Structure 1
Amino acid sequence: MSLTLALLLAGQIAGTPTPQDQTAGPATSTPQQADDAADGEDSGRTGPAAQSGSGEVVVTARRRAESAQRVPIAISVIGGTALAETGTYNVNRLTQIQPTLQFYSTNPRNSAANVRGLGAPFGLTNDGIEQGVGIYVDQVYYSRIASATFDFTDTDRIEVLRGPQGTLYGKNTTAGAINIISRAPSFTPEARVELTGGNYAFFRGKASVSGPLVDDKVAIRLSASVTTRRGTIYNVRQDEWQNSQDNQSFRSQILWKATPSLDLTLSGDYNHQNPNCCVQYYARVGATQRPVTRQYAALAAAQGYRVPSTDPFDRLADVDTDLRAKQELGGLSLLANWDLGGATVTSVSAWRFWNWNPSNDRDFIGLPITTVSANPSQQRQVSQEVRIASDGDRTLDYVAGLFYFRQTIDTQGLQVQGPAASAFLLNPTSTGGRNPATLNNLTSRNTIGFTNTSAAVFGKLTWHATDRLSVSPGLRVNYDRKSGHYLSTVTNGTGTALTADQLGVLAPQSYDPRFSNWNLSGDLTVAYDVTPDVHYYATYARSYKSGGINLSGLPLNATNTGVDLSTQTVDPEKVNHFELGLKTQALGRRLTANLAAFWTEIDDYQATVNNGQLTVIRGYLANAGKVRTRGVELDTALRPTDRLNLYANAAYTDAKYVRFPNAPCPPELSGGNPALNGATPAAAGTPGLSPLVCDISGRVLPGVSKWALSYGAEYDVPVQLGDTAGQVYFGYDGSYRSRFSSNPSPSAYTYIGGYALSNFRLGVKTDTRWNIFAWVRNAFDRDYFELLATQSGSTGLIVGQPGDPRTYGVTVSKAF
C-alpha cells in the first residue's frame, strides 16, 4: 500500500474540516498579467512580481502558497498565457526569457539544463551521474533531462528557482529547479483550444477540457498537444529535411475530494516524439597537432570528398546515416493533500518510464566512417515523497519530508565502423590505413545496466523572530547507492582475432562499478522586511551532488593491457553557496526590481574527460579540482500605465575552473604523439608532440555567457469589435547572450560568438476570450550556433548545430 493510499484512509477516518483559503501576502502580479488573470491564472509573464491590479503571483516554491515577492529565493515565474504568446513551448525556448538558465541538446538524450553555469557536465550524457538542476512536473521529479525536450502541455505556470534547493525538494538539486505546474481539474466546466500555423510547415495544436464527474466530489481534466514542423537543414545526400519536430502529448488528471480535508489527484501522461533529428555538420576547420596528412583537409581530399557547403548557414548537410530521435515518455502519479488544520500532509507517489531509440551519424560528414552509433535505452523509475508543511501563519513555520527514489536503466549500445574508417582513424601511410577492410564492419556491442537508489530526510524551519525578521535553517540527510555493469564486445568483419589497429579503435571492456555514500547538507537563510515592499535576504548553503559511476567506457591503464578501474567511480560534488538578495516594489507596486548576488564554489566538480584514445567517440567522467561561479542578477518589471508593460532581466555570470591541472586538452593541443618523459610539446596547431594533459585552471566553464539579457514590452489599445470589447496589442521580446565556450576545455575553434534575437507579435483579444495574433521569431534572421563540437580523431573538423532561422506564423486560441 502506498503512503498516498494510507493518507486516504486516514483522512476518511479523521474528516478534518477544511480551513479558509490562505492569503499569500500583498496583491502582486507581473507586468502584462491581465491576460493571465482573465484566464483564471494567478501566475505572471516573464519578470518578477509587480503590481498590475489583477491579483498576485502565488508560488509554491517553498511547498506552501505564498507571494513570490516574499519568498527569499531567486525565483522567476512565467504564466501559461505568457508561454503561449512568447512561443515558449519547451525548456530550450525558456532560455530566451530566463537569462541564467542554459539548455543544450544535440538530441533528447544528450541534453543538459544548467543554472548559473552549473548542473550537468558539458558533453555527451553519461547515465551514471545525476543532474544538478531538478525538473519537477506537478511535484514529481523527472530524472531524465530528455523530458525537457517535450512541449509544455496545459501549463498553469513555471517557476525557475536558482541555487541549491535540497532542503525543500525531494531529490537533491544543487544548482536549481524548474518547477512546472499544470492547470488543475476544475468543478466549473471549461475548455481551451489553441491552434498555430507557420512557415516550415509548422503546426501546433493544444486542447484541454475540464469539469465535474460527480457533483463537487470528482473532477477531470484532459489535455493534448501536437507539434510538427519540417526540418530546417536540408540533407543533399538523403534528399530530405532534417532537424524536424514531431511531438505528441496526452495528459489526464482526476481530482477526488474524498473528504472536506483530503483530496487526491491521479495523473497519467504519455508523450511520443519521433523527429528526423538531430544533425550536426561542417562549421569550420582548425589545425591540430596531428600530422598534416592526417588532418581533415588532407583526409577529405584523399577520399575525393567535399562537403556540400563550407558556409554552415546555407543549412546543407550530407550525413549518410539515417537520423532518428524516437522516444516515449510517460507515467502515473497519485498526489494526496491532507489538511490537518494548522498544517498539510502531502504524499506524492509516482512511476515513470522512458524509452529511447536513436540513430546518429557521429562522424558528421557524408563518408562511411562511423556508420552506426546508437545507444537505445529503457528507463523505469519509482518515487515516493511525503511532506508536512505548516500553513505559514505562525511564529515557527516548517516543512519536513521523506523521499525515496529508485531508477533502472538498460542500454544496448552499438557502434559500427565503415569502409572510410581506416583512412580517417589510422595512419594513411600504414598497412592498416591503406586497407579499407582493416576497420570496415568493426563492431562494438555494449550491454549496459544501471540501478540507482536514493533516499533522504529533509526539512526547513522558519522562525519569525519579529514581524520583519525571519531565520530559516534547513537540513538534509541523503543516501545514494549506484551499481552498474558495462560489457563491450568487439568483433571485426572477418570473425578473426582483433588486430592492434582494431583494438586501438574499439577495445573490449567489462567492469562492474559500484558507488554508495551518505552525506549531510544544510542551509541558512536570514530575511528582513524593511517595509511591506522591500525585502532583504542572505543565504548560505552547503550541499552535495551525488557521486556516480562511469557507464560510457573507461580509459586503458598505463600498460594498455586493460581498463583503468580507478576511473570507474566519480566522487560527489561539494558545494558552498553564498547569496544576497533584495526584492523591491515601488510606484504603487507598478515597478518591481529584484537583485541577487551569488558566489558558488564546487570541489570535485564532475567534468567530461577524454580517455587518450584518439578514435574513441565518448569520453568519461572525472572530478576536476575546483570550479567557481559568481555573479549578479537583476530582474525588473514596470507597468507605467494600464496599457503598457515593460520588463528587463540581466545576468552577469563569471564561471571558471579554479583548479583543473589535468584537464583534457583542446583540439589545437591534441592529436600528436604524447610528450613523454618531460619532452616539450609542439605549439598549438602545429604537428608534433601533444601534452598528456592541459592545465585549464582559471579558464571559463563551457556553455556560460558572461552577460545574458532578456527584455520586452507589450502595449494594448481598447477596441470595440461589433458588440464585443477587446484589445489590440503589440508585443516584443528580445534576448542577448555574449560569447561562450562550447568545449569542456576552452578552444579557439569552439567559441560561439555573442548574438541577439528579436521576437514580435501583433494580435487582438476579446472579452469573449478569443486571442488571435501573428508572430515572428528571430525576426532579423540572425545566424548563430547553439553548439559546436569536434569530430573524433583530432582531425580538426568542427561541427555545429545552428539555431532556428526566422520563423513566423499565426496563433488562434479560445477559452470556453
Structure 2
Amino acid sequence: MANNYKNSMTRFQFSTLALLVGSAFMTAPVWAEEQAAEQVKDDEVALEVIQVTARKTAENLQNVPVAVTSIGAADIAERGLSSVIEVAQYSPNTTLQQSRGTNSTLTAFIRGVGQEDPLWGYEPGVGIYIDDVYVARPQGAVLDILNIERIEVLRGPQGTLYGKNTIGGAVKYVTKPMSGDTEFDANFAVGSYNQRDGKLTGQIPLVDNKLYLGFGYANLQRDGYGEYLTSALPGQDGENYNKDLQAFRATLEFRPSDNWFMRLNYDKTNDKSNSKGGYRLLPSLLTDAPVPDSVYDSYTSLPTWNKVETEGVSLTVDWNINDEFTFKSVTSQRENYSPTNIDFDNTSVIIFDVPAIYDDEQFTQEFQLNYNSDNLTLVSGLYYYTADSCGVFDAILGVLGTSLGAPGLTREVGGCSNSDSIAAYSQGSYKLNEQWSVTAGLRYTKDDKEALVRNGLIFANVYPESGWVPGYVRPDGLTTPVVLDDEESWSKVTPKLGVEYQHSDDTMFFASYSQGFKSGTFNPRATTAEPAADPEDVDSFELGVKTDWSRTLRVNATLFMLDHKDRQYISVIPDPTDASVLNQRLGNVGRSEATGAELELTWAAAKGLDIYANLGLIDASFEEAISYTPAGDPIDISDRFSVTNTPETTANIGFTYTSETSFGDMVWTGSYGYRSKYSLTELDNLLVQDGYGMLNMGVTWYSQDGHWTVGLHGKNLTDEEYLVGNYAFVTPDATQPSGYRPGLGGDNTLIGYYGAPRTVTLNVGYRF
C-alpha cells in the first residue's frame, strides 16, 4: 500500500510539473510579448547572455543541449556566496555539503549519484574541476571563493567529454582571466561567531599587452558554532565548527601574439580548522555525559587539531591555428595531505576513536584539437591521468580492549590505491539545416589500478604517528599484515548521442542519450585478498527545452531518466571453506534507477528587477542489492538501501533588485530554498532529515566612483537545524530504553553533523 501511495504521489508530482511546463510553453510567448511591449523600451529590460564551457568550448548557455546551471561572479558576490557548496541552492537536484570530520571535505550528489564514503581508494560520482583540471579526491574540494569568474554545475553523466567519475555530473570552478590593467582589490568581512575574513587580489602587467601577473590571498577566520565540552586530553577543549584557513593563488599569463595564450597557475590551501565533533543523539552508556544542549557541541577523547593541505600547479596553452582549428594543452600536478581526528562516539572516553591520514598525489595531461565551421563543431582530445591515493586509519576501541584484559584494542587499516588512466575522445555537433542538428560523441578509457591493503588487530591504543597525542611514541616497525596486494585493468567506451531542434531564434528542444562510468576499485578496508569491484555504469536519457522569450523570460526544463548499474557495495559473502563464517567484501551488488524533472526560470520583470526560480523533482530508489545467506544463497536486500543526499524535491525562488541613487547603486537580493526529506546512510539508514527551508537576504552598495563596495548578507535567517552527515553504530531494538542496541565499541553511537546556523556578514571592499 505504501509503495502504491509513493508511486501515485510521484506520478502526481511529475504530471503536475509537466502540466506547468507545458502551460508555460503554450502561454509564455503570448504573455511574454505582452509584457515585452510594456517593459522593453530601448532594450532597457533584458536578460544577460551567459557564456559557459560545458562542452569544452565557449558557448551561449541557451545553445548548449546540456542541463547546466551557471552562477557568475557578480551574482556570487551580490548573493554573498562564500564557497562552492552554496551554489547547490541554485541548481535543482544537486547536493553540495561539507562532509563529516573537516570543513574542506566535500559531499557531492547530483541526481542521486555521488560518493558517500570519502576513504582513499573509493571513486567519486561527481567530478570537481578547477580551470579544466580534475580534482580526484573530496578532501580539499570545498573551494572557497577567490578570483572566481563563474561556477558551472553540469547535471547528468559527462562521460564523453569529461571521462570517468562524472556519472552524476560535474562542478566546474572557473577563475577570472586577466583584464590587462593594473588592479588591486581588498575585501574584509566581519560577522557572526567572530568572523574575520581578509582577501587581497590583484594583477600587474609585466609587459604591456603581453605578460601579466595575478595573485590572490585569503585569510578566513571564525570562532566555532559550538564547543568541545570536555576532553580527556589536557588543553584540548576548544571550538567546534570553527574556521582557520589560508589560501593563496598566483597566475602568470602570457600572450605572445593574437593566436597564442599561456597561463601558469599555482594554488595552495592550508585549512587548520579544528576537527568537527558530532552531536550525540543518544546518551552514552559508558560515560555520564548527557546529550548536549546544542547540536554544535560535542565531547572528544582525541586531539581537536586537524589539517587539510592542498597544493597544485597547472599550465594551459591555447593556440588558434587558423579560423577553424584550435589546439589546447592542460598540464597539472596536485597534492593533498590531511591528518584528521574523528571521534566516532564523541565522548571523553576512548570508545571508538579514528585518527587518520589521507595522502594523495595526481598528475594529468590533456591535449585538445577543436574544429569549428558553419555546420560542424568538433571537440577531440587525448587524456592521461596518474594518481597515488594512500592513507591509514586507526580504529581505537580502547574500552573494548580493556574489557578483554588488554591495554587497548586497535584495528589499523592502511595502504594505497594507485591508478593510471588513458583516454581518447571526440564529440561533435553537425547542423543538418537551419533547424535540425545532431550531436554524437565517443570516449575510450583504459584504467590500470593496483592496491595494497594492510589490515590487522593491535592490542594497544595506537595512533598513526608519534606525538599524535601528548607523550605518545609509536613503536618502531609497528605494521599490520598485508592482506591484499593486487592489480586490475578495465577498459570502457562511453557514447553520447543527441538531436537538437531549433524551433525559433528563442527556443531549442533537445533529446539525448549518454553513458558514464565510475572506475573499478579495490576494497580499501579488505580483510582478505578479495578481487576488485568492476566499474559502475550509468545510462541516462534526457528530453529538454531552452527558451528565451523577448529577451525577458528564460525557461529551461529537462526530463531525465537514469539507470545506475553495477553499484559497488560491501556485501556479506560466505567463506567457501566454512559456511558458518561470513566475510564482508566489496562487489558490484547494487542497481538503482531515477526519474526526474528540472525547471529553471529567470525573468527580467522590470528595469533593475530580476526574479529567478528553480525546481527539481526526482524519484530515486534501489531496484537490486544482493547479499547472501549463510548457506550461500543470494538474497535481494534492496529494501534496506536508500539513495542518500537526494531530496525528492529541491526548490528555490529569489530576486535581485538594483536601484540607482545619488550616492551609488544598491543591489538587493533575497532567496528561499527548500529541500524535502532525505536519508543520510545507504544501508539500514537510521536518520532522516525532514524537509526544511533556507532564507537568505542581502544588500550591496557600489560607490559612484567604482572604488568602494559594501555588502550585508544574512544566511539561514530562520536558523534551521539540518543534518549533513552522521555515524550510526547501533541497532534498532524496541526492548531497549533508548530504542537501540549498542553497536561497535559497546556504546549507543548515533551521531549527527549539522549545517551552518544563522549568520550575518558585513563585507567591505576597495578597488585601487
Q: What's the offset of the Cα at 1:707?
A: 0.3
Unaligned runs of at least 5 residues, structure 2: 1-42, 232-236, 463-478, 576-582, 731-742
Q: What's the offset of the Cα at 1:773?
A: 2.0
- Is residue 2:647 matched to residue 1:705? yes
- Is residue 2:493 matched to residue 1:510? no
Partner residue of 2:546 out of 583, 586, 592:
583
Q: 1:570 is paired with a residue of what secondary structure?
A: coil
User: Quick check: 2:678–2:690 contact (8 Å CA) kept in 1?
Assistant: yes
Q: 1:388 is paired with a residue of what secondary structure?
A: strand
**Number of corresponding residues:** 680
Code of the residue aligned with 1:241 in structure 2: it is: E
Q: 1:645 is paired with a residue of what secondary structure?
A: strand
Q: How far apart are the structure 1 equivalents of 2:515 and 2:630?
A: 41
Code of the residue aligned with 1:570 in structure 2: it is: A
In the other structure, the counterpart of 1:319 is 300
Once the two structures are superposed, the pairs formed by residues 544-583 of structure 1 within 5 Å of their partners are 544-554=517-527, 563=528, 565-566=529-530, 568-583=531-546
Once the two structures are superposed, the pairs formed by residues 783-802 of structure 1 within 5 Å of their partners are 783-791=721-729, 793=743, 796-802=748-754
User: Deviations along 1:673-700, whole A, 9 cap, x unmatched?
Assistant: xx9679xxxxxxxxxxxx9977124964
Q: 1:81 is paired with a residue of what secondary structure?
A: helix
Q: 1:148 is paired with a residue of what secondary structure?
A: coil
- Is residue 2:162 matched to residue 1:169? yes
Q: How far apart are the structure 1 equivalents of 2:460 and 2:328?
A: 58
TM-score by length of structure 2 reads: 0.84
In the other structure, the counterpart of 1:632 is 597
User: Quick check: 1:184–1:221 contact (8 Å CA) kept in 2?
Assistant: no
Code of the residue aligned with 1:252 in structure 2: it is: A
Q: What's the offset of the Cα at 1:796?
A: 5.0
Q: How far apart are the structure 2 equivalents of 1:98 and 1:543?
A: 21
In the other structure, the counterpart of 1:139 is 132
In the other structure, the counterpart of 1:262 is 260
In the other structure, the counterpart of 2:288 is 305
Q: 2:96 is paired with a residue of what secondary structure?
A: strand
Once the two structures are superposed, the pairs formed by residues 238-253 of structure 1 within 5 Å of their partners are 238=231, 239-253=237-251
Distance 1:798 1:612, change over 3 A: farther
Q: How far apart are the structure 1 equivalents of 2:267 and 2:698?
A: 31
Q: What's the offset of the Cα at 1:438?
A: 2.8
Once the two structures are superposed, the pairs formed by residues 215-226 of structure 1 within 5 Å of their partners are 215-226=208-219
Q: What's the offset of the Cα at 1:439?
A: 4.7
- Is residue 2:77 matched to residue 1:84? yes
Code of the residue aligned with 2:651 in structure 1: it is: L
Partner residue of 2:569 out of 602, 607, 614:
607
In the other structure, the counterpart of 1:19 is none
User: Quick check: 1:417–1:440 contact (8 Å CA) kept in 2?
Assistant: no
User: Quick check: 2:47–2:553 contact (8 Å CA) kept in 1?
Assistant: no
User: Quick check: 2:456–2:481 contact (8 Å CA) kept in 1?
Assistant: yes
Code of the residue aligned with 1:511 in structure 2: it is: L
- Is residue 2:747 matched to residue 1:810? no
Code of the residue aligned with 2:336 in structure 1: it is: W
User: Deviations along 1:399-451, whole A, 9 cap, x unmatched?
Assistant: 10000000012323333332x235xxxxxxxxxxxx53635422344441221
Q: How far apart are the structure 1 equivalents of 2:599 and 2:155?
A: 13
Q: 1:69 is paired with a residue of what secondary structure?
A: helix
Q: What's the offset of the Cα at 1:312?
A: 5.0
Code of the residue aligned with 1:541 in structure 2: it is: S
Distance 1:796 1:597, change over 3 A: farther
Q: What's the offset of the Cα at 1:51?
A: 9.8
Of stretches 480-489 and 509-518 in structure 1, the one that deviates more from structure 2 is: 509-518
Q: What's the offset of the Cα at 1:276?
A: 0.8
Unaligned runs of at least 5 residues, structure 1: 1-49, 285-296, 423-434, 496-505, 555-562, 664-674, 679-690
Q: 1:64 is paired with a residue of what secondary structure?
A: coil
User: Quick check: 1:307–1:366 contact (8 Å CA) kept in 2?
Assistant: no
Q: What's the offset of the Cα at 1:715?
A: 2.1
Partner residue of 2:346 out of 364, 386, 399:
364
In the other structure, the counterpart of 2:431 is 464
In the other structure, the counterpart of 1:486 is 453
Code of the residue aligned with 2:202 in structure 1: it is: V
TM-score by length of structure 1 reads: 0.79
Code of the residue aligned with 2:613 in structure 1: it is: A
- Is residue 2:385 matched to residue 1:405? yes
Partner residue of 1:764 out of 684, 701, 708:
701
User: Quick check: 2:571–2:626 contact (8 Å CA) kept in 1?
Assistant: no
- Is residue 2:101 matched to residue 1:115? no
Q: What's the offset of the Cα at 1:396?
A: 1.7
User: Deviations along 1:191-223, whole A, 9 cap, x unmatched?
Assistant: 222211101011222221113101211111111
Distance 1:312 1:739, change over 3 A: farther
User: Quick check: 1:368–1:421 contact (8 Å CA) kept in 2?
Assistant: no
Partner residue of 1:421 out of 396, 400, 404:
400
Q: What's the offset of the Cα at 1:138?
A: 0.9
User: Quick check: 1:609–1:620 contact (8 Å CA) kept in 2?
Assistant: yes
Once the two structures are superposed, the pairs formed by residues 223-234 of structure 1 within 5 Å of their partners are 223-234=216-227
Once the two structures are superposed, the pairs formed by residues 54-69 of structure 1 within 5 Å of their partners are 55-69=48-62
In the other structure, the counterpart of 1:442 is 409
User: Quick check: 1:307–1:365 contact (8 Å CA) kept in 2?
Assistant: no
RMSD over aligned CA atoms reads 2.7
Q: What's the offset of the Cα at 1:774?
A: 1.5
Code of the residue aligned with 1:701 in structure 2: it is: V
Q: 1:125 is paired with a residue of what secondary structure?
A: coil
Code of the residue aligned with 2:552 in structure 1: it is: R
Distance 1:714 1:608, change over 3 A: farther
Q: How far apart are the structure 2 equivalents of 1:403 and 1:775?
A: 42
User: Quick check: 1:281–1:365 contact (8 Å CA) kept in 2?
Assistant: no
Q: How far apart are the structure 1 equivalents of 2:642 and 2:45?
A: 40
Q: How far apart are the structure 2 equivalents of 1:739 and 1:507?
A: 42
User: Quick check: 1:608–1:621 contact (8 Å CA) kept in 2?
Assistant: yes
Of stretches 711-720 and 696-705 in structure 1, the one that deviates more from structure 2 is: 696-705
Q: How far apart are the structure 2 equivalents of 1:447 and 1:513?
A: 15
Q: How far apart are the structure 1 equivalents of 2:511 and 2:439?
A: 10
Of stretches 482-491 and 531-540 in structure 1, the one that deviates more from structure 2 is: 482-491
In the other structure, the counterpart of 1:717 is 659
Once the two structures are superposed, the pairs formed by residues 624-703 of structure 1 within 5 Å of their partners are 624-662=589-627, 695-697=637-639, 700-703=642-645
Q: What's the offset of the Cα at 1:390?
A: 1.9
User: Deviations along 1:613-669, whole A, 9 cap, x unmatched?
Assistant: 9xxxx9864323311111000000111111211111110011110111429xxxxxx
Partner residue of 1:126 out of 105, 119, 125:
119
Code of the residue aligned with 1:655 in structure 2: it is: A
User: Deviations along 1:361-384, whole A, 9 cap, x unmatched?
Assistant: 12222322134x222122111110
Q: What's the offset of the Cα at 1:171?
A: 5.2
Percent of matched pairs sharing the same residue? 26
Distance 1:131 1:230, change over 3 A: same
Distance 1:160 1:173, change over 3 A: same
Distance 1:492 1:764, change over 3 A: same
In the other structure, the counterpart of 1:378 is 359
Code of the residue aligned with 1:751 in structure 2: it is: V
User: Quick check: 1:264–1:337 contact (8 Å CA) kept in 2?
Assistant: yes
Distance 1:127 1:494, change over 3 A: closer
User: Quick check: 1:58–1:67 contact (8 Å CA) kept in 2?
Assistant: yes
In the other structure, the counterpart of 2:492 is 519
Flag the structure with higher strand content. Answer: 2
Q: 1:83 is paired with a residue of what secondary structure?
A: helix
User: Quick check: 1:278–1:324 contact (8 Å CA) kept in 2?
Assistant: no
User: Quick check: 1:659–1:698 contact (8 Å CA) kept in 2?
Assistant: no
Q: 1:585 is paired with a residue of what secondary structure?
A: strand
Once the two structures are superposed, the pairs formed by residues 743-762 of structure 1 within 5 Å of their partners are 743-747=681-685, 749-762=686-699
